[in-house]
């Protein structure tokens, strides 16, 4: 009876087909493998898009590196420009004890003869306190808190921060008056006597006085005199130098050329062109060029980097070639090679500073004309414009390609997101279908087991089964 009961129970189960997706057949792993394989095949387009994104990222990174190097090259060009302006001029003084000279603008080349008739002197005065000041941090020459300083014909009100000599000198120096105040010890180390000393900042006879509201506190020490000089013997009267009077020791003797009058005497001041600053900047330019060239080489050839075959790399190569082979017109200097910038067999550049050192004044002038200015003329303008085609943040080759790569990356990301959504939907559908198939197979396998059991039961209880047929 127990066997009959089991068969009856199995038949009852078969009468109600299995619809749950939680069933498990012996083909469950095969069904899951089929799902995985289908998903792998369906994800291939998305993997290609992800690989394209990685390629785009590599190109973008390398473009950024090259852009930085080309920008550095332009910066080096600007450095050359700084050496072709005022700093390309030098002033040479024959006797530096008579005057010193400085270039302040676009001075004309030439030689000037300067005769200092008098270097001038400054007015000075000192306090006349009858009571010595032994400690300038706590004592002063007057108990007043307000003073009137007279310099020439101008009065200045002085309010020291404290009632001591140091505070008074500090307040005078901070007043804007054209004087310099110092505290001086006119006594011995063991018996100090501190007084305040004033000196005018302009040459000539300048009246100096300090009043505390009751008394004048200063005694004149020196009455200054104006300086006097001539340029190329002028002005003169009957062949005798008259001299130009000045209250400043530094004077402009020609546009862009200042001299400081030091001592009585005569000397020459020669203004000439110099390529000293240009030489060091050309060296920096060569280094920047070589760095950009070396990075470009990494993206050329069958084993090159991320930008092999890229049009922007070709544009950059062409730009470098155009810059370095620029030829000027007119004058004795028409190429960078004449300034010591030359190619090596490897395609890089070298710089020979001796080429510049050996140029004559005429050649130096021609070299400055050849170099020109980034904004207006010559090699520097041509090179700057050529490199702008690469580096311009709006229309340059790097900016244009970078924008295209960013758009490509965004399109890839949009497609990846869409593919991912479709893949997720496909996965859910396949999982549901395979679960149903798995449940159906499990039911069929149960039916097979039931029928085999029924057959075995029938034959084991039939006495004629062994002789049947």
Instruction: Tell me if 255 is assigned to some domain.
Output: no
Strand 194-203 relative to strand 257-261, pairing? unpaired
- Whether the link from the prior residue into 319 is cis, omega within 30° of 0, is no
Taking only the tens place, the pLDDT of each residue in 413-445 is 999 999 999 989 988 888 888 888 888 888 888
Tokens 């004077």 correspond to 251
25 found inside a domain? no
173 versus 467: the higher-pLDDT residue is 173
Side-chain-facing half-sphere of 68: CA atoms under 13 Å = 6
Q: Looking at residue 14, what is its pLDDT?
A: 34
Q: Are residues 288 and 217 in the same domain?
A: no
Domain span at residue 402 reads 31-98+274-451
Average pLDDT, the chain: 88
What pLDDT is stored for residue 387 in this prediction?
96
Do 216 and 282 have their domain in common? no
Confidence at 463, pLDDT banded by 50, 70, 90 = low
State yes or no: pLDDT of 330 exceeds 50: yes
Q: Is residue 233 part of a domain?
A: no
- Asked if residue 307 and residue 447 are part of one domain, the reply reads yes
Which residue in 249, 356, 273 sits closest to 91, CA to CA?
A: 273
* Cβ count within 10 A of residue 171: 19
Residue 440, token pair as written in the block: 């159906």
- In the three-class reduction of DSSP (H, G, I as helix; E, B as strand; rest coil), residue 156 is classed as strand
| Residues 144 and 74 grouped into a single domain | no
> What's the CATH code of the domain at 323?
1.20.1330
Which residues on adjacent β-strands are paired with residue 147?
158
Contacts of 347 (CB under 8 A, 6+ apart): 293, 297
- Whether 113 maps to a domain, the answer reads no
* Residue 134 falls inside a structural domain: yes
Please check whether residues 284 and 361 belong to one and the same domain.
yes
Final residue of a domain: which of 222, 252, 285? Answer: 222
Could you tell me where the DSSP H helices lie in 83-200?
A: 165-173
Is the same domain home to 213 and 285?
no
> For 208-275, what is the HEC assignment?
EEEECCCCECEEEEECCECEEEEECCECEECCEECCEEECCCEEEEECCEEEEECCCEEEEEEEEECC
Q: Are 253 and 93 in contact (CB under 8 A)?
A: no
Residue 288 and residue 349 in contact, taking contact as beta carbons nearer than 8 Å: no
* Same-domain status, 203 and 159: yes
Rounded to an integer, the average pLDDT of 8-24 is 40
Q: What is the pLDDT of residues 104-150, one digit of tens each?
A: 888 888 999 999 999 999 999 999 888 889 999 999 999 999 999 99
Asked if 93 and 204 sit in the same domain, the reply is no
Pairing of strands 89-93, 179-185: unpaired
- Tell me the pLDDT band of 6, cut-offs 50, 70 and 90: very low
User: Tokens 């009632």 belong to which residue?
Assistant: 163
Across-strand partners of 258? 102, 252
Residue 389 and residue 334 in one domain? yes
* pLDDT (tens digit per residue) in 45-93: 989 999 999 999 999 999 999 999 999 999 999 988 876 666 678 899 9
β-strand pairing of 194-203 with 179-185: antiparallel
What pLDDT was estimated at residue 170? Answer: 97
Give the phi and the psi of residue 155 in degrees, each rounded to 5: -105, 145
Say if residue 286 is in the same domain as residue 403.
yes
Residue 164 within any structural domain of the chain: yes
Provide the domain count of the chain.
2
Read off the pLDDT of residues 344-376 as tens digits, 9 standing for 90 and up: 999 999 999 999 888 888 898 899 889 998 888
Q: Based on the domain organization, do 127 and 94 belong to the same domain? A: no
Q: How many whole angstroms separate alpha carbon 260 and alpha carbon 167?
A: 33
By the 8 A CB rule, do 283 and 353 touch?
yes
Task: Let me know whether 215 and 279 are in one domain.
Answer: no
Residue 301 lies in a domain: yes
Mean pLDDT of 161-181: 96
Q: In this structure, are residues 56 and 412 in contact, taking their beta carbons and an 8 Å threshold?
A: yes
pLDDT in tens, 252-268: 999 999 999 999 999 99
Q: Are 385 and 294 a contacting pair, CB within 8 Å?
A: no
φ, ψ (nearest 5 deg) of residue 201: -95, -5
Mean pLDDT over residues 285-291, rounded?
A: 96
First to last CA, the chain: 29
The average pLDDT across 325-334 equals 92
For residue 423, being part of any structural domain is answered with yes
Q: Is the pLDDT of residue 22 over 50?
A: no
CA nearest 449: which of 25, 20, 109?
A: 25
- In tens, the pLDDT along 183-218 reads 999 999 999 999 999 999 999 999 999 999 999 999
């Amino acid at each position: 009876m127990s066997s009959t009961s089991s068969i009856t129970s199995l038949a009852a189960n078969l009468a109600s087909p299995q619809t749950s997706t939680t069933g498990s057949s012996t083909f469950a792993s095969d069904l899951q493998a089929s799902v995985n394989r289908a998903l792998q095949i369906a994800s291939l387009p998305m993997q290609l898009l992800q690989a394209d994104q990685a390629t785009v990222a590599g190109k973008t990174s390398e473009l950024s590196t090259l852009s930085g190097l080309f920008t550095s090259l332009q910066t080096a060009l600007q450095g050359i420009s700084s050496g072709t302006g005022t700093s390309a001029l030098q002033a040479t003084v024959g006797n530096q004890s008579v005057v010193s000279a400085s270039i302040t603008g676009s001075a004309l080349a030439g030689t000037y003869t300067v005769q200092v008739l008098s270097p001038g002197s400054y007015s000075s005065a000192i306090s006349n306190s009858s009571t010595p000041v032994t400690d300038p941090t706590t004592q002063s020459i007057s108990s007043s808190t307000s003073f009137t300083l007279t310099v020439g014909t101008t009065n200045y009100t002085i309010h020291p921060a404290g009632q001591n000599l140091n505070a008074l000198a500090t307040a005078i120096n901070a007043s804007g008056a054209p004087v310099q105040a110092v505290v001086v010890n006119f006594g011995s180390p063991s018996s100090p006597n501190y007084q305040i000393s004033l000196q005018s900042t302009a040459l000539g006879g300048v009246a100096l006085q300090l009043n505390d509201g009751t008394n004048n506190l200063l005694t004149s020490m020196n009455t200054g005199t104006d300086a006097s000089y001539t340029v190329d013997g002028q002005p003169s009267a009957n062949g005798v130098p008259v001299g130009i009077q000045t209250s400043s020791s530094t004077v402009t003797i020609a546009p862009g050329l200042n001299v400081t009058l030091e001592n009585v005497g005569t000397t020459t001041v020669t203004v000439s062109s110099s390529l000293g600053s240009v030489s060091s900047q050309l060296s920096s330019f060569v280094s920047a060029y070589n760095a950009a060239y070396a990075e470009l080489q990494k993206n050329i050839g069958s084993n090159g980097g991320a930008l092999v075959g890229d049009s922007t790399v070709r544009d950059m190569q062409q730009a470098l070639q155009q810059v370095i082979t620029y030829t000027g017109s007119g004058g004795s200097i028409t190429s960078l090679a004449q300034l010591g910038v030359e190619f090596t067999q490897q395609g890089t550049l070298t710089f020979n500073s001796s080429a510049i050192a050996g140029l004559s004044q005429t050649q130096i002038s021609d070299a400055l004309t050849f170099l020109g200015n980034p904004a207006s003329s010559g090699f520097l303008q041509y090179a700057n414009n050529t490199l702008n085609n690469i580096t311009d943040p709006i229309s340059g080759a790097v900016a244009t390609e970078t924008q295209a790569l960013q758009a490509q990356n965004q399109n890839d990301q949009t497609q990846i997101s869409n593919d991912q959504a479709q893949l997720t939907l496909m996965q859910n559908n396949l999982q549901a279908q395979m679960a149903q198939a798995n449940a159906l197979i499990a039911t069929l396998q149960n039916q097979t087991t039931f029928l085999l059991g029924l057959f075995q039961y029938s034959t084991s209880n039939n006495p004629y089964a062994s002789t049947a047929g």
